Structure formats: structure tokens, C-alpha cells
Structure 1
Amino acid sequence: MKLNNTMSPWKKTIIAGLISYIDAGSIVAGAAGLSMWQAYLGMDSLQMGILAALSSNTGGAALGALIGGEICDKYGRKFVYNYALLVYMLGVALIVFATNYPMFLFGYLIIGLAVGADIVASWTFIAEEAPSENRAKHCGSAQFAWMLGPALVLSASIPLNAAFGLLGNRIIFAHLIVVAAFVWYQRLKMPESSEWKNAKEKENQLIAEGKLKKITYTTILKGTSLKTVLFLCGIYAIWNIPASTSGFFMPYIYEHVGNLSNTMALTLQSINFVFCVLTAILFMQYADKMNRRTLYRVFGSVCMISWIIWTLPADMLQPWMLWAFTLVSSFSMQQQFYQLWSSELFPVRYRATAQGFTFFVARAIAAVWGFIVPLIMNFLGFRTAAVMLVIFGFISWIIGAIWAPDDRGKTLEQITKERYGDALDDMEINPTDHNDITING
């Protein structure tokens, strides 16, 4: 397959960013049919907890991001996104033909490994290939795809579930194989990230000369890099607890706590993601123009506000309240900002590895939460879980409201120099060899 080295930045962004559609599609496809799969497979609360902990939304993706990030920095962005989707298609096929719980669980675990690795490679690639003045717009387009996936999947699930039951949900999963195959074929023609390629050549030369040591997690977890890791985990990992609850359990919550039918639950969830698409568009329009800390303060607060509704006793919940939650919760921008900042705030030399680590932490925490939240709902009631989700949302918001950076219009190299300096004080450099080493991104 001949590489297209003249491909426009937007075409690269779209092809790379479609992993977000595939990732989100697999999450909400399972959510749309969770009640039916529970009945078909006879899952108890413990099995549902294990499924939530190892699915593509949590543990599987966490491990995939950790592994994929290192491979991405070592062998290139293209290496990961050329092969990850082949693994993804295998996992989805297992779910399509699943007849027992282990098969269903294993399929989700494989999907998670694939999307975790692919997301890190794709998000990094998008940021590195995007024009500096429109980086947020390009990064936001991946989130547009992420929100569009659930909107379309849930909208299609309503008639298919009603008409065919569990078969309808299998069809939804099957369409993801078709989309993944199309994206995989298109990616074969894409070039490598020029930023990574140039930096890798310089890095290999300096390592051969003994002037630069190989990156380890000790390098990443100290100095400026450690502060960045803590900041990103603070806003994203904590926010992702309520977000992952919504992504995987929301139709189930609408049905079993809000007393809605499956059709109505999926309708509300679909509407939520339609408004999430609008939020992604707002981010694309304004994150390159407005002060990003201000933008985060405004939109980051809605996560905690929306979950307050579910802290009310079940008999006080009114249909308008469920509609209010559906609309208000859609205006969160934490994931858009996380994608942008995790690509901007680390040097190119270990950008994907560091991003993979923060993504791993976020999804691993979500995995633990996904395991225990069915137990909390079963033994303590969903109101207890909702109170905890409000607290998590507040913590995430306050961290970003205080420490959010604003690097609009700057190149990745400028941002790296401002944060780390020309000497790259956070890297493993031999103490006698600080002479003009500038492998910056």
C-alpha cells in the first residue's frame, strides 16, 4: 500500500479520530443491550461488576493504553494504529457470536486492549499533525466522533432492540466490525507522524553517542512531568468515574432507578449524546480562541451539577428531572481538554507513553469503580453512589479551575521548551552531556 505523504491535516485527523467513534460505539452498544445480556447470560451483580471492570470502557482499555503508549513512542504512531484495529475486530466478533459469559467478557477485554492502544496513538498523532493555531479544533474533532458514535448507536438500538431483542444488539456490534475494517484500510495509506519521526532520529543519534539515556517511568514520574501527570489524572481520572458510570450503566439506571422502559432509557441516552456532539462543536469553535481555563471553569462544573438530581429519593424523581439530567450532563468538556492537554504538555520523546500512563490510571480507577458500583447500588442504593459521583465531579472541576493551562497558538516545541527548558531537566541525560540537547516536541 503506497503511503500518501501529501494527505491534508484534516484528512489525517478524521481517519485517526474515527477510533473514538469505534471506542464509544462498543461501550454504548453494550450499555444499550446490558439488560438483555444480563437476562440471556444470567449475570449476577458480581459478574456485571467484573464485566464493567474489564470492559472497553475501563480495565481493558487501561492496560491497552499502558502497553500501546510505550510501543507508540518506541516504534511509531503508525505501527500501533495499523494493527490495533485488527485486534479490535476480533474482540467484537466474539461478542457478536457470544453464547456464554466468558466469551462475552473475553470479547470486551480484547476490545479494550485494542482501543486503549489505538486511542493513545491516534490522539497523539492528531495533535502532532495539526496546525498550532487550530490544534484544539483538530483534537476536538476526535471527541465529535466519540459523541457521534453513541448518538448513532443508541438511535439505531431503539428500533433494533424493540424488533429483534438481543439479536438487534448483536447487529449493532457487527456494524462496528465494518466501520473498523474501513478505517483500518484507510490508515494503511497514512504516513508516520513527522514530529515523532524527526525526534526519533535525533534521539537514536544521541543515545548512540552516550549523551542521552532511554526513557523509563522514573523519568516520567518526577519533576515537571510528575506535576503534569498529577494534574491530568486529577481532572480526567476523577471525572471519568461519573462519566464511565454514565457511559456503561446509564440505560440500566434509567430503567431500574428512573423506572423507564428500555426504549425510553435509550431515547434519553441518545438525546444526551446528541447534545454531547453539540458540546464537542462548541469546544472546536472556541478552545483555540477563548481562555481555556475560563472555558473549563464554565463547562467543567456541569458534571457535578447534573448528578445532584440522582441524590434525591427515588419517589421524588420526576420525568422532567431525568430530562434535565440528560441535557445538563451533556455539556461537560473534560475529555476534550484531557485529550488536548495530554498531547500538548509532554515532550515528543515520551508523549504517548505519558499519555498512555495517565489514560491507564483513569481507566483503571474506572475499572475499580465499575466493579463496585453494582454492589453499592445493590446493598446501599443508587443514591449513595450518586452522592459519591457529585463529590468526584467537584474534585475534578476544582483542579482544572485552578491549574488549567492556556497554550493557544503555541507550537508543541514552544510548549515543551517553556515547561521543560532546553536542557530537558526531566529526562535521563548524562550529567556531562548537556550541550544543546533539544529533542523537543
Structure 2
Amino acid sequence: MSHIPTTATVASKALPPLGGDRRFNRRVGVIAVIATFGGLLFGYDTGVLNGALSFIVDYFHLNAVQEGLITFLLLIGAALGALVGGRIADSFGRKRTIIVLAIIFFIGALASAFSPTYGIFLVSRFVLGLAVGGASVTVPVYLGEVAPFEKRGGLVSRNELMIVGGQFLAFLCNAIIGNVWGGNAEVWRYMLTIAALPAIALFIGMLRLPESPRWLALKGRNDESLAVLKDLRRPERAVAEHAEIVQLIEDERELTENYSAWGEIKSQPWIKRLIVIGMGIAAFQQLTGINSMQYYGTQVLEQAGFTRNSALIFNVLIGMISVIAMLIALPLLNRFNRRGMMLFGFTGILIAHLLVGIFGIALPQHSPIRAWLLLICILLFVGLMQGTIGPLAWLMLSEIFPLRLRGVAMGFAVLVLWVTNAIISFAFPSLVGALGFGTFLLFAFVAGLALLFVGVAVPETKGKTLESLEEHFKRLYASF
């Protein structure tokens, strides 16, 4: 497809500087804090089972298959929520969708906590998964569309920080509640109830936030779109940025007026290429095995040689390392190329997995040094993952898709992410049972494939507006 220069292309190269006005920076920062409560809920609801699961199994007298279904159904719900959530966000707005998700988070958390039977508990976890998946799509898109391109990396990746922060909070609450009320057979209900509190905060906070200016412009509500931008940028920057958005939307409507979203995906080679890349990024993020540690970290540390109490303590340390790595990564995302950081991250992950596999297999099972070496290598893996691939995957997924298809395409990619997550999480206990720490050698092999994928297929997105990226991808992938 030939490239037709547009005002959007020119404008993106000549946007007025963002400036250093603290009022605007503070407003964008407040939006990021409130919206990323969706990420906090995402993290807490996926991490809480790490400590609560053993109590739930005892309470409902579950077998291994029934135990596995608890995590599996939440993740399947998340996959469906990711697919549907993107389309809903495109139709009804990013803000409204997040508000509805907050309500579902609240209902799902309380329904899980007060479930009288195993069947109702499974249904409530599936419903909660719908909210988790919807938030995983909608919150990064909302942040990416509200943030100025100069700060998009750090702001969008705050959502990933809140995800790992939510998991750390879950690990910490589990450890405290389990030690204080561990003799109570229904202690798991306390652990699950806590998730209702950030859901309330997300609901109230989102009522006061603006809608995405790009979504408003897409729906023809240009005055509202400009008003939002003027509230978040200096006036001259807001006007120029709004003109770029409107021009791109007009150009797109002329080109795609007679096409449905699915028809355009099938007919435009460059869009198909981006969706394939997005699905690859999503899949490889999960194939690193990071969520196996989030769901089964305590059990892995026990197999490494630690006692159960020590494993619970070091599981909290894994959550802490995740948060620290994310805090270190956030300022770096706007300084270094996305693609280069991905290559570095997957290289480090490959090495860490190799070390875990080799030490786990080669060293005597009851050797004290074995447990400590495995812990160090696992922490290295978690730190590298959460400091590079974790935030980068969500950031790039929020950047690479065209505006009019962003919700649908993001839903596609995150559907792949959640399905991959579900498969790995369901298979991990069986793999460890059959291969032991040799499982991590499989993860190392996958990290090698990920390196090849990033090196060959993943484009650079740093330093460009979302609108100029679209024009760039049209040229780059016209003949895919």
C-alpha cells in the first residue's frame, strides 16, 4: 500500500515542547494513580491464591483437579474479558468501561469471599477473571491515550508496577493473616475480601477522571477532546496535539469508510503484521514462566530445599523484588529503546533459567547451598523479568495498534496472553512433577526463541506519537 503524507505525519514532528509546568504533570500523574488501581486489583486477585489456596482446598475438601480449576477458571475468565473488554472500550469509552470493571471487581471479590459452596466459588472466580482481563486491556490503552508521548513509557508502565504491587500486597496480607488467624478454617475469606477495598477506590476515582481525548475525537466529540487536552497540556501543545489526532482520524475514515474492523484487519497487511507481533509479545511475556512463580512460588521454594515457613517468607521477598525492579525500570523506559531493553531482558532471563535448571539438577537435593543458589537465581529471574519484559510488553501493546482498532487489537493480544498464562499455570505442576527443575531449562529454550522473535520482528516505538507510529507502520509493513 502506498503511503500518502498527512498532516498527522508532519504534526508529530513539530509538536510544541511539553514544558515543565507542574500543574499539568500533576494532573496526568493523578490520572495514572487512580486508573492503575485496576492494575492493583489485577495483581491482588491473581496473587492472593498463592497463600489462600491451601486453606480453600482444606475447607472444600478438594482434589488436585478441583484445585487446578480455581486458577484455571479465573484465567479463562480473564482471557474472555480481555477479548470482550477491548470491543466494549472502543464502543462505550475507556472511562466507562473501567468504571464497570470496578463494579465487577467489587462483586467478584465479595462473591468469592462469601461463597457457600465450591461451585459458587468457581463461578465467582470466573466473573472476577472477566474484570481482571478487561482491566488488562483497557487500563494500558487509557493511560497510553491520555499521556503525552514524551512520558508515555513511564506512565503506562505504572500499571505494571501496580500489578506487581498488588501481587506483593497479596503475598504480604496472606502471610500476616495466615499467621494471625491461621487456625480459623475460613481464614481464606479474609484474604479474598481485601480486594473489595481498591475496587471501591477505583470506582470513585474514575468518576472524577476525564475520558480519553483520542476516543472522544474518534467519536466526533472534538470540543470535549480539546478541553481534556487543555486540562492536561499547555494550550499551544494541546491545540497542536488535538489537530494531529483529528487529522489522522479524518484520513483513516476516508480510507476505511466502507470497512468493518474485522474486514480491515483481513484486508490490510500492515495491520495483520502488527497483530501477529502483538500476539507474539503477549505470548512470550507469559512463556517466560513468571506467573508460575506468582501462583506456585511457595511450592517451588519448598522443592528447592526450604522449610514451609521459610518458603512463605521468601515468597514475600519475590514480591518485593518485583516491585523494586519495576521502580528501577520506570525511569529507564523513556531513556532506552524498547527493543534494546527487550533483547537485554530476554538474554538475562535465558541465563537465569539455565542457572536454575543446572543448579536444581546437578546439586544434591539436601545441600544447603543448593537452596540458596536456587533462591538467588529465581530472584535474578524475577528481577530481570519485572524490570524489563513485564512493563515493556504492556507498554508496546498500548503503542503499536492503530487508534480505530486499538481496543479490538489489544483484546486479541491480551487474549493470547491470558490463554498462554492459563495453559502454563495449569501445566506447571505436572511439568515440575515430571521434570523437576529441568522445567526451567524448557523456559530457557523459550527465552531463546523470544530473543529471535524480538530481533527479527519487533519494531522500535520510543520517541514517537501514537499517530506518527501508525504512519510509520503503514510504510514499514505495507507488503506483509
TM-score bracket relative to the smaller structure:
0.7 to 0.9
In the alignment, the residues of structure 2 paired with residue 210 and residue 269 of structure 1 have an alpha-carbon distance, to the nearest angstrom, of 51
1:164 — aligned with what? 181
**Is it true that 1:81 corresponds to 2:98 in the alignment?**
yes
**Which letter does structure 1 place at the counterpart of 2:95?**
K
Using structure 1 for the length normalisation, give the TM-score. Answer: 0.86
* Matching residue within 331, 355, 358 for 2:410: 355
Alignment of 1:216-227 (within 5 A): 216=262, 219=265, 223-227=269-273
Superposed displacement of residue 262, structure 1: 3.8
**Shift in CA distance, 405/279, structure 1 to aligned 2, threshold 3 Å:** farther
Does the 8 Å contact 1:161/1:167 carry over to 2? no
Name the counterpart of 2:427: 372
Q: Which residue of 1 is the match for residue 325 of structure 2?
A: 279
CA distance in 2, matches of 1:304, 1:221: 37
Kindly indicate whether residue 309 of structure 2 is the aligned counterpart of residue 290 of structure 1: no
TM-score, structure 2 normalization: 0.79
User: Which of 79, 89, 95 is equivalent to 1:72?
Assistant: 89
1:326 positional shift: 3.7
Larger radius of gyration: 2
Q: Which amino acid aligns with 1:211?
A: E
Find the partner of 1:16 among 32, 35, 57: 35
Pair 40,260 (structure 1): closer, same or farther in 2 beyond 3 Å: farther
Cα–Cα, structure 1 residues 34 and 392, in superposed 2: closer, same or farther, change >3 Å? farther
Tell me if the contact between 1:28 and 1:247 (Cα under 8 Å) persists in the aligned partners.
Answer: yes
| 1:238 partner amino acid | F
What corresponds to 2:230 in structure 1?
none
Q: 1:253 aligns with which of 291, 297, 300?
A: 300
Residue 133 of structure 1: CA displacement?
Answer: 0.8
What does 1:31-42 align with in structure 2 at a 5 Å threshold?
31-42=50-61
> Which residue does the alignment assign to 1:420?
474
The reply to whether residue 338 of structure 1 matches residue 393 of structure 2 is yes
In the other structure, the counterpart of 2:371 is: 319
Distance 1:304 1:59 in 2: 28
Q: In structure 2, what residue type is equivalent to 1:410?
A: K
Please, which moves more after superposition, 16-25 or 228-237? 228-237
**Count of equivalent residues:** 417
Shift of 1:370: 2.5
Alignment of 1:173-212 (within 5 A): 173-201=192-220, 211-212=257-258
Higher helix fraction (1 or 2):
2
Q: Give yes or no for the alignment of 1:113 onto 2:130.
A: yes
Pick from 385, 402, 421 the counterpart of residue 439 of structure 2: 385
Deviation at 1:205, TM superposition (A): 11
Deviation string for 1:287-342 (max 9, x for gaps)? 11122222222223333333331462371662212321342022212121111111
Unaligned 5+ segments in structure 1 are 427-441
How far apart in 2 are the matches of 1:218 and 1:363?
25
Cα distance between partner residues in 1 of 2:62 and 2:179: 21
Paired amino acid for 1:50: L
Instruction: Kindly indicate whether the alpha-carbon contact (under 8 Å) linking 1:233 and 1:358 is maintained by their aligned counterparts in 2.
Output: yes
Residue 399 of structure 1 aligns with an amino acid whose one-letter code is: F
Distance 1:408 1:101 in 2: 47
Tell me, yes or no, if structure 1 residue 29 matches structure 2 residue 45. Answer: no
The code of the aligned residue for 2:294 comes to G
Matches within 5 A, 1:402-441: 402-420=456-474
Secondary structure, aligned partner of 2:48: helix
* Identity, % of aligned positions: 20
1:98 partnered with 2:144: no
CA RMSD of aligned residues (A): 2.8
Structure 2 alignment gaps of length 5 or more: 1-23, 221-245
| Aligned counterparts of 2:25 and 2:333: Cα–Cα separation in 1 | 27
1:225 to partner: Cα distance: 2.1
The alpha-carbon distance between structure 1 residues 218 and 364, as it changes in their structure 2 partners (threshold 3 A), is farther
Q: The residue matched to 2:219 in structure 1 has which SS?
A: helix
Give the structure 2 partner of residue 436 of structure 1: none
The SS at the match of 1:185 is helix
